[in-house]
Structure 1
Amino acid sequence: MNSTDKKSAVLGAEFLRHDTAAAESGVEDYLEHDAAVYRTLLESTRAIPWKIDWATMEFAYIGPQIETLLGWAPSSWKTVQDWAARMHPDDRDKVVEFCVAQSKAGTDHEADYRALTSGGEYVWLRDVVHVVRDARGEVESLVGFMFDISERKKTEEKVAALQRELEALSFKDGLTGVGNRREFDAVLQREWSAAQRHGAPLSLIMADIDFFKSYNDYYGHVQGDACLKQIATVLSEAVRPGDFVGRFGGEEFVLILPNTGAEAARQVVERCRDRISAAEIAHERSPFRQTVTASFGAGTVIPSASDDAVAFVNLVDTQLYHAKDNGRDCISAVNRAA
């Protein structure tokens, strides 16, 4: 709430409390003059004041600004049922339960919700509620102020959308568009924990483009980047829904296959290898048909509480180097789930 709204709230609360106190004291002349001043000042603000009698749950007062904002005449706000009925269905139960509980406890509170206009649209409101007690300490009435926070909510939603977009970008490799090392770490931790809980197999595949340094030296880094993008696309199209593809670094890619045994993982690797071959990306400096190939390391495990995810990654990485040492364009795998 900004400073103007706070001043309006304080002024309005003073008016509504003073209105009741003056009536009880019977100082009619004072009430007529002073309350009129308060009412004029209050109703010239953007804050919408209201007062509810706790015993009857009826509106004792609601500012005329309500009709300008929502289109409903002040006279149509008779009980709290009118307030609740004009609330978005997705907000109603939560907000009503919260406000009732806080009011019963005698606690001042705030609530944000979408209010229905007479035209069938919704406007974001913030209700700031003060609980008024009688001499015995019992709840006597509620004094509140409605504030139009639609613009604030729009700004918050834009900021939230930008944050989600930035978070998504922070998990993507800027060149290839697949997951980056940060996302790989997060996905691996999540799937490792899930595999431990359910006693399910988890497979990991690491792929490294063969002779990529000579590719860059011959074709240049721009073409090298294009090659990495194409390989990322091929791998993404070769995996199944729910599998993860990421760039581990340089010309190395990594795949996480949840709930996947060794044989199924082997089939995924073979499909990746076949599709890279079918892409026929020219590589004049490669001894394999002068096209781009890749070496693969694969591993499968049913992780126990004593197993370590980093150690498993290192194990698969070792398999990758076995594949490269054995002539490249091949697969080396280990099965720790057997």
Structure 2
Amino acid sequence: MLTYSVATLAGFVLLMWGADRFVVGAASTARNMGLSPLLIGLTLVGMATSGPEIFVSVAASLRGDPALAAGNAIGSNIANIGLVLGMTALVMPISVRSVTLRREMPTLLAVTLILTMTFINLRLGRVEGTLLLITLVLVLYWLVVIGSRSGESDPIALDYASEIPGDVPMRKAIVWLVVGLLTLLAGANLLVWGAQNLAVTFGVSELVIGLTVVAIGTSLPELAVSLVSAFKGEHDMAIGNIIGSNLFNSLAVVGVAGIIHPAVFDRELLTMHLPVMIGMTLALFLMTYNFGGNSRIGRIEGAMLVGAFISYHVWILTR
């Protein structure tokens, strides 16, 4: 068990470092090619911060364990809102001012419902995976449209402009991109191997391991980015990081898993875990949609989100 635990922990470390280098490489490459910081932030950064989940999904599916991949995606969505947003708001209350985020939120709600409908028959196959990836392409197009409509004075555009490196030479950016990809691949394989064997050792399902241990671990990059963004006063970017990650988790991570290795799931996925994800997403929508013009997620709301996250995990483990 010690070996499996060390392998899992080492996998997390490699995924965190690899994700950071991958974000730097991808964002710097795109900026050197002339893309605006807002478009890079809405598309590439969101995809890059979901790199750990995507690579874990591929590794798990190739090893014949799509349940771990699906659990990782759903659990990460729950962790991003309950743990990442909750902890960030507890440390530093978040003000939401961006019009861009207001346009993104309905998209996240729609994608969450599409993902739920995908599992309505408790089967994830190549047809469902393909539909999710097609939806991903449409969402990417919509994000580009949103980015084009938003002005460069939008608070989140200013946040991305200040954070995305603009002085990284193209050769160095590509090197970091490749190094990040290779590190993500190594970390994902190590993590999946350790997590699978831990599931066998403790006698729990791979789905539960994916929803808990793996999901929390792969959400650590989002937690780091959101906390740093909040401390810098880049509150909209802290929220945008979570929205982008959840979009890619729902579509890319699950879609890839379905195409590589079709699977059938237990009913508890539909009756217990997906409703929690929907509830968390709805809570995020109500807190950030800016019904009155300017919304604020304070420490009380943060404590409620963290409390709900902890209660959910206690519920899983006690069952």
Specify the TM-score bucket, using the shorter chain as the normaliser. Answer: under 0.3
Q: TM-score, normalised by structure 2?
A: 0.21
Q: Which has the higher contact order (CA 8 A, sep 6+)?
A: 2
Q: Decide which structure has the larger Cα Rg and report it.
A: 1
More helix by share: 2
Q: TM-score, normalised by structure 1?
A: 0.21
